[in-house]
């Protein structure tokens, strides 16, 4: 808590007051290609801007293409040599995720870093177009499926280039506040027991469990890709659009704990780019330093169950999409 309030650096040499530019100072990322979800605004935009500043090829994945193209132009205005592309991605739609992956593969570029950044928060109960509670669908399931679709490209890139790939899942300290069993597998879509706060915590817990399980699987395969999760900190962004008044009141009484956007993007950029993180995998970071997440987040059995459950949800959505596709006339 003292480090959070004062900004005193931790073992990494960085802390809560560090900015994304500071933690990447002197790093040349000109040999790297990065996909970042939700890169059109907030800490996602700042992450993309700074990675482009360090010469990485940044691909902004966003639902709102007007905002994504504005973000691209903003980056180019600040850095005319930046390499930036924008592709549409709606993480709440299995169909959209599949289409994004196809468009990405059509670019015929390598993929070194995947930053699963986008998210929604404290939404009223609703289901995605695939019939999944929307916070879980967007924050976890969409990223889970996207990662699966891009993983072969990342493996190929790591193997041919010899450069270690990195996957970063943005989680939250909110993973501590979830349902009793962590993930409500049997009540995921139960409106009567739904809590917007606990459902958000559930999705953020899922982000860590996903990162940890994927890390174990890649290590078992001997794949040169690390997977870690981060808590960016408390930052007032569009993420709070469903709870602006509540968050404004909270900020009034906890102003010393909040970060600005450049500080909020620091941990993501640190974990994605810094050489200190070579070979570090399956860890959780806060303020650019490793921390222990909750007991549930470290539960390997829960992570495996979530992995299988997520695949079943995706298979069901894909089957539904295929069934709805018009028959081909011969």
* pLDDT tens, position by position, 259-304: 999 999 999 999 999 999 999 999 999 999 999 999 999 999 999 9
Structural domains of the chain sorted by starting position, each given as residue range(s) with its CATH number in brackets: 2-321 (3.40.50.720)
Mean pLDDT of 18-39: 98
pLDDT of 326:
57
List the one residue out of 47, 142, 17 whose CA is nearest residue 59. Answer: 47
Active site residue 200: no
pLDDT of 256:
46
Q: Answer yes or no: are the C-beta atoms of 90 and 63 closer than 8 Å.
A: yes
Mean pLDDT of 213-230: 98
pLDDT of 251:
44
Taking 60 as the threshold, does the pLDDT of residue 330 lie above it? no
pLDDT of 327:
47
- Do you know the residue count of the chain? 330
Residue burial 84-108, b: 16+ Cβ < 10 Å; e: rest: bbbbebbbbbbebbbebbeebeeee
Would you place residue 3 in the very low, low, confident or very high pLDDT band (cuts 50, 70, 90)?
Answer: low
Taking 60 as the threshold, does the pLDDT of residue 247 lie above it? no
Burial label for 317, CB within 10 Å (0-12, 13-18, 19+), is buried
Q: Annotated catalytic residue: which of 145, 194, 270, 284? A: 194
Taking 60 as the threshold, does the pLDDT of residue 5 lie above it? no
pTM of the model: 0.91
pLDDT, averaged across the chain? 91
pLDDT of 325:
62
pLDDT of 55:
98
**Are β-strands 289-291 and 33-37 bridged in parallel, bridged antiparallel, or unpaired?**
unpaired
Percentage of the chain modeled with pLDDT above 90? 86
Percentage of the chain modeled with pLDDT above 70? 89
């Amino acid at each position: 808590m003292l480090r959070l309030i004062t900004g005193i650096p931790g073992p990494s040499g960085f802390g809560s007051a560090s900015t994304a530019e500071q933690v990447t100072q002197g790093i040349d990322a000109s040999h790297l290609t990065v996909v970042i979800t939700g890169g059109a605004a907030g800490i996602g935009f700042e992450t993309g801007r700074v990675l482009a500043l360090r010469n990485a090829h940044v691909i902004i994945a966003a639902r709102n293409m007007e905002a994504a193209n504005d973000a691209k132009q903003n980056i180019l205005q600040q850095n005319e040599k930046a390499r930036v592309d924008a592709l549409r991605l709606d993480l709440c739609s299995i169909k959209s995720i599949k289409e994004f992956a196809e468009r990405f593969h059509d670019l015929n570029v390598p993929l070194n870093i995947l930053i699963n950044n986008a998210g929604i928060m404290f939404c009223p109960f609703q289901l995605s177009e695939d019939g999944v509670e929307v916070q879980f669908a967007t924050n976890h399931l969409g990223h889970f499926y996207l990662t699966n679709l891009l993983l072969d490209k990342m493996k190929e890139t790591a193997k041919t280039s010899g450069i270690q790939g990195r996957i970063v899942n943005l989680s939250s300290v909110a993973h501590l506040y979830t349902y009793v069993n962590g993930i409500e597998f049997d009540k995921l879509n139960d409106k009567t027991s739904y809590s917007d706060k606990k459902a958000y915590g559930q999705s953020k817990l899922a982000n860590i469990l996903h990162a940890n399980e994927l890390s174990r699987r890649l290590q078992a395969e001997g794949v040169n890709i690390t997977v870690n999760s981060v808590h960016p900190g408390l930052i007032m962004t569009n993420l709070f659009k469903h709870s602006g008044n509540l968050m404004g009141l909270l900020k009034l009484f906890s102003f010393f704990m909040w970060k600005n956007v450049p500080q909020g993007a620091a941990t993501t950029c640190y974990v994605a780019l810094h050489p200190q993180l070579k070979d570090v995998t399956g860890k959780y970071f806060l303020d650019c330093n490793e921390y222990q997440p909750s007991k549930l987040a470290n539960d390997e059995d829960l992570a495996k169950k979530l992995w299988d459950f997520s695949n079943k949800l995706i298979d069901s959505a894909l089957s539904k999409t295929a069934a709805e596709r018009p028959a081909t006339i011969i």
